[in-house]
Structure 1
Amino acid sequence: MSGLEKYFEKLLWSSRLMVLAAVVSSLLLSLMLFVITAIDVTNLIAHASDYVGATVEVKKALKIEMVAHTVGSIDGFLLATILLIFALGLYELFISDIDEAKESGRSSKVLVINSLDDLKSKLAKVILMILVVTFFEVSLSMTFVGALDLVYFALGILMVSLALYFGSKSSH
C-alpha cells in the first residue's frame, strides 16, 4: 500500500501544474488588454488635434468625450493589471516562487502574495478601483432630468466614498 500511496501523492502534487493553464491564459489576456488599451490611447492622442480648431460647443462635447475615453483607458489598464497580479499570484502560490523577482531586489509589495486571502485582497482592491473609475466614466455622460436623478447621483457618490473608505480601512 505504501507504493500506491506514494504514487497517488506524487500524482496529486503534480496536479497543481494545472494552474499553469490559468497563469498562461491570464498573462495572454493581460498582454492583449495592455496592447488594446495602448492602441486606444494612441487613437485618443491622434484625435486631440480636433479639439484645437473646434468651436466652443464642439470643444465642450469633445472634452467630455476625451475625458470619458481617458477614464476608459485607465479602466483597461487596471483590468490588465488585475490579470497580471492574478497570474503572478497563482504562479507563486501553486507552482514556485519567482526567483527573478527576488534576485533583482526590485520585488514589489503588490506582488508579494503568501496565501489565497492575500491574492483575493489585492484583487478586490483593484476591482474596487475599476468600479470607481467606471462610475466616474458613466457619470460623465449622465443627463439629469429631475431632482430625483441628482439624489440618486449623490447617493452613488456616497456609496463610492464609503467603499473607498472601508477598503482603505481593511488594509490597515
Structure 2
Amino acid sequence: MLEKWFEGALWSSRLFILLPVIFSMIGAIALFVIASVDIYHVASYTIDVYVNHLHPKDFHEKVVGDIIGAVDLYLIAVVMLLFSFGLYELFISNIDAAENSESSKILQIHSLDQLKDKLAKVIVMVLVVSFFKRVLHTTYGSPLELLYFAGAILALALGLYFLHKGGDHR
C-alpha cells in the first residue's frame, strides 16, 4: 500500500512541469508583444521620416537594425513556445487539438531528443540573427578585421550546413 501511494505521488509530481509550461508561454507572448511594438515604432518612425521629407544620418542602418532586433525577439519567443509545448507533450499529455489539426506538425514533440533538436535549430537561428545585427553596426579598420569577418561568415555557413544536413527536415 505504501508503494502504491508513493508511486501515485511520484507520478503526480510531474504536474509541477505546468509551472515552466505556463511561464514559458507567458514569456513567449510577452516577447511577441514587445517585438510587435518595436516593429510598430519602426514603421511609425519610417512614415514620419518620409512624410516630413527628412533623411537622418544612418537612417537605413537604424531601421534595419531595429527590425532585425525584433526578428531576434520573435525567434526567442518561438524558442519559448517550442519549449512550452514540448514540456507539456513530454510530461503531461498530448495536445489533442494539435494532433487533430491539419496545420504544421512543428509543435508536436514526441521525445526529449526531438525537443532538443528543434530548440537547438531555433537557437542557432537566434545567434545568426544576433550576429547579423552586430555586423551592421561594426566598422572595419584593417584588412585583418575583414578577414576575421569573412572567417566568421564561413564558420556560420558551415554550421548551418551541418545543422541542416543532420536534421530530419520537419
Q: TM-score range by the shorter chain?
A: over 0.9
Give the distance between the partners of 1:130 and 1:79, measured in 2 at CA: 7
Give the distance between the partners of 1:167 and 1:90, measured in 2 at CA: 23
TM-score in terms of structure 1 length: 0.92
Q: Deviations over 1:33-87 (max 9, x none)?
A: 01111110110100002442234xx36x110111111111110100001101100
Give the distance between the partners of 2:105 and 2:167, measured in 1 at CA: 13
Tell me which amino acid in the other structure corresponds to 2:2: L
Verify: 1:136 aligned to 2:132, yes or no: yes
Which residue, out of 36, 43, 49, partners 2:47? 49
Tell me which amino acid in the other structure corresponds to 2:124: L
Give the distance between the partners of 1:4 and 1:107, measured in 2 at CA: 46
Higher helix content, 1 or 2: 1
How does 1:119-134 map onto structure 2 within 5 Å?
A: 119-134=115-130
Verify: 1:154 aligned to 2:150, yes or no: yes
The CA deviation at 1:111 is 1.1
The CA deviation at 1:100 is 1.5
Give the gaps of 5 or more residues in structure 1. Answer: none
Verify: 1:109 aligned to 2:120, yes or no: no
Percent identity reads 45
Tell me which amino acid in the other structure corresponds to 2:78: T
Tell me which amino acid in the other structure corresponds to 2:64: V
Q: Is the 8 A contact 2:98 2:105 kept in 1?
A: no
How does 1:1-172 map onto structure 2 within 5 Å?
A: 3-52=1-50, 53-55=53-55, 58=56, 61-103=58-100, 105-172=101-168
Give the total of aligned pairs: 166
Give the alignment's Cα RMSD to 1 decimal: 1.2
TM-score in terms of structure 2 length: 0.93
Q: Deviations over 1:73-118 (max 9, x none)?
A: 1101000011011000100000001112223x23522112111100
Give the distance between the partners of 1:110 and 1:51, measured in 2 at CA: 40
Displaced runs of 4 or more, over 6 A: none
Give the distance between the partners of 2:146 and 2:48, measured in 1 at CA: 32
